[in-house]
A and B are shown apart, each in its own frame.
Chain A
Amino acid sequence: MAAVTADRVNKIYRKFASRRKFQTLKSAFLSGDILRAFRPDETFRALHDVSFDVGEGETFGIIGQNGSGKSTLLKIVAGISRPTTGTILHKGRISALIELGAGFHPEITGRENVYINGIMLGLTKKEIQRRFDEIVKFAELEDFIDSPVKTYSSGMYMRLGFAVAINVDPEILIIDEVLAVGDASFIPKCLDKIHEFRRRKKTIFLVTHGMDVIELLCDRALWLKKGGVQRIGASKMVCDAYMADVTQREEVAMEALAAAGETAPESAAGEEDSRSPNRWGSREIEIYEVKMLDPQRKEKYVFQTDDPAIIRIKAWTRNKVTDFVFGIGIFNTNGVCCYGTNSHIEKYDPVAFEGEGTIELRLDSLNLIEGTYFLDVATHRRDGQPYDYHRSKLTFRVHSKIKDVGVFRPVHAWDFSPEIRVKAVVSEAAR
């Protein structure tokens, strides 16, 4: 039997034009129709025909970009706000961890707040008494429970809020991105508690941006896009589809960025450009176009870690040049140079360059770890005197299923002797 059923849930918010933002009693009277003040004149559809069934004991993840309606949906599931149209049915006590410690009063002690918060969440005094020690222990606040909550650090505040909410012992637990705020020792405790809930066959709704958490914890997932259900199904499948969409969106954004940074050969020598802090040099040779491509020569700025890539540089010169070097540098967001090379280091001695030309650097496999990278390109004399240096000319992203660390991912393979038995998890991740 389904624990939660949503049937064509729509949520429409009123959107205020600036005129209506300051709607007042006076203006409502003056306009003659007080009821009109309650009528929205511009609306925003936060949820669009959302339907789903969540079975008892199921862990259900909700993913989507910021503003896709995740929190609105959770609030509707929790009963905090109501759908504009459509129905939502659920059975059993719900506890929503949407904001931890909502309703704590700063002036009174943690002990009193536990009681008050517990009652607000639907417990009786006796039930709280029974669970009080457990709550305090879970929150690790034994020494501070009799101090006013206003003296708590934000971490203590959050821990106490989580401890109370999780001890409500709900049939349905709703968790909205609260795992993002705990410290390294508290998050595993929260995850343990969530696992315990799963073992006890409770229904859990989980919203998070951590795809690994969704894949780890959830049986099924729902991907919301602009308020509508984009996909619903096994969490792995939904997460992959979502990540593919994110990748595609990033690609579009990066291409736009690359197009904006492009300069035509004629305007390259313009005055503004020479003063730009990200470009310098004598301009005897000018780089006027840099692109990243896939082997089919299609522009591409978002890669998987083992994807091949081509960096194509187009340059031109007015006069014949006999001393030149072309180079690139890949930097991560911390400004660390992950890799840098040039034609001189790699033993290509310059002979002559005249007119317009193209240089392509082929990388068979990027082998970078996940992250955003900046590409520097330059041409200079062998002694290092720059002709044209572009700093952070391009931005590209690398995705990886494997959460390895460092700046570089050498090609590698694991070998284990027979005494050490391992089992490879076959998935796309180990592709």
Chain B
Amino acid sequence: MIVNQEPRFKGFSFFNRSEYMFKNLATLFKYRSLLQTLVSRELKARYRGSFFGFLWSFFNPMLLMLVYSLVFSYILKQQNPETTPYSLYLFCGILPWTWFASSVLEASNSLMINSGLIKKILFPAEVLPLVNVFANLVHFLFGLPILLLFFIYYNYETPLTPFIAYQHPITWYILLLPVVMLVQLIFTAGLGFLVASLSVHFRDLQSILGNLVTFWFFATPIIYPLSMPGVKDSSFLKSLLHFNPMTHVMEGYQSCLFYGRLFDWRALGNTFLVSVALFFIGYYVFDKLRDTFPEEV
């Protein structure tokens, strides 16, 4: 077996450069068992030492959901019939948003936290931001059964149910959920590569990101629907929201889960293309800065 380690081409032409990039991308697939191992390490380490251990992956979304239910059923009563029951609507967006936001924030720090690996052993750095994305995906998946429980609570008669809405039963459209998740996965991974590699050189990016993600949260229809009067009537806000790829991702989730209808496939298709483009841009930047990591992290 001969493994030739060519020095990576120093970028005289884009095509040469991108050829190496695709080669590197292909090795990404080779590292899947490493990725899998690191994701499970991440999950194991997170709750190690706590009494409930892995159950926290269920408790966290459940408690969050309970808090929202309490607040929005008794304190901040929502009038909009389109988003009733409101806590259910909210949760359909918050759950995937948490996956997105935590992934991006953690990915921005991933290279610095694991500097030991990058500096001291031969290690494919691109795995690190992906570990964060996939670990948070697992948490998202753990949240889904809790979400379904609340669907049952709100839509089917049980001895505990205070009122019966029957408005938002689970439909077959839930089977389209993986499509939406795929779009989000690619988008998040691309952004993860981008922020992970840039944060190595600009440490401020992490602080900026924290605030940016909060702003992004409110600029995405999660706590309000797109059809809200304030949004619908302002052409500026409308185009701003449509420009935001996460809008269509969130709409996808809400369509599959809450409304029980087909998502706007054209919008989601465009978002998919944007996500793929971002993925390649993110990976390209990451790949270009890769050689600087061992010295800078």
- Taking Cβ atoms with an 8 Å cutoff, the residues of A that contact B are 13-14, 23-26, 28, 37-38, 75, 78-83, 86-94, 96, 98-99, 102-103, 105, 107-108, 112, 115-116, 119-122, 124-125, 148
Contact = CB atoms under 8 A, between A and B. Distances in A.
B3 interface: yes
9 contacts: A13-B295, A14-B295, A25-B204, A37-B201, A78-B122, A81-B291, A87-B7, A99-B121, A103-B121
A343 to B, nearest CB: 60
B2 interface: yes
Contacts of B5: 79, 88-90
B118 to A, nearest CB: 8
B208 A25 contact: yes
B297 to A, nearest CB: 12
A116 B41 contact: yes
B120 A80 contact: yes
Interface residues of B, number: 37
Interface string B279-297: 0000000000101101100
Contact of A99 (B34, B38, B120): B120
B45 to A, nearest CB: 4
A86 B37 CA distance: 35
Contact of B3 (A81, A86, A91, A116): A91
B48 interface: yes
Given A28-B202, A119-B37, A79 B1 contact: no
B121 A121 contact: yes
Contacts of B204: 24-26
Contacts, number: 104
B235 interface: no
B53 interface: no
A52 B2 CA distance: 19
Contact of B38 (A14, A23, A116, A121): A116
Given A102-B120, A103-B121, A107-B45, A81 B1 contact: no
B4 A105 contact: no
Contacts of B38: 116
Q: Which 8 A-B pairs have the closest CB atoms?
A: A102-B120, A25-B202, A99-B120, A81-B294, A107-B45, A107-B48, A102-B116, A91-B2
Given A82-B7, A98-B120, A102-B116, A119 B202 contact: no
Contact of A92 (B3, B41, B295): B3
A121 B114 CA distance: 15
A82 to B, nearest CB: 5
B162 interface: no
B13 interface: no
A81 B295 contact: yes
Contacts of B201: 23, 37-38
Contacts of A115: 37
A119 B33 contact: yes
Contacts of B25: none
A24 B33 contact: no
B117 A103 contact: yes
Contacts of A79: 5, 122
A80 B121 contact: yes
A21 to B, nearest CB: 11
B238 interface: no
B49 interface: yes
A334 B122 CA distance: 43
B232 interface: no
A22 B54 CA distance: 40
B49 to A, nearest CB: 7
Interface string B235-272: 00000000000000000000000000000000000000
A89 B123 CA distance: 18
A254 to B, nearest CB: 36
B8 interface: yes
Given A75-B294, A102-B116, A108-B44, A120 B123 contact: yes
B77 interface: no
B44 to A, nearest CB: 6
Interface string B1-41: 11111111000000000000000000000000110011001
Given A24-B203, A81-B294, A108 B122 contact: no
A183 to B, nearest CB: 22
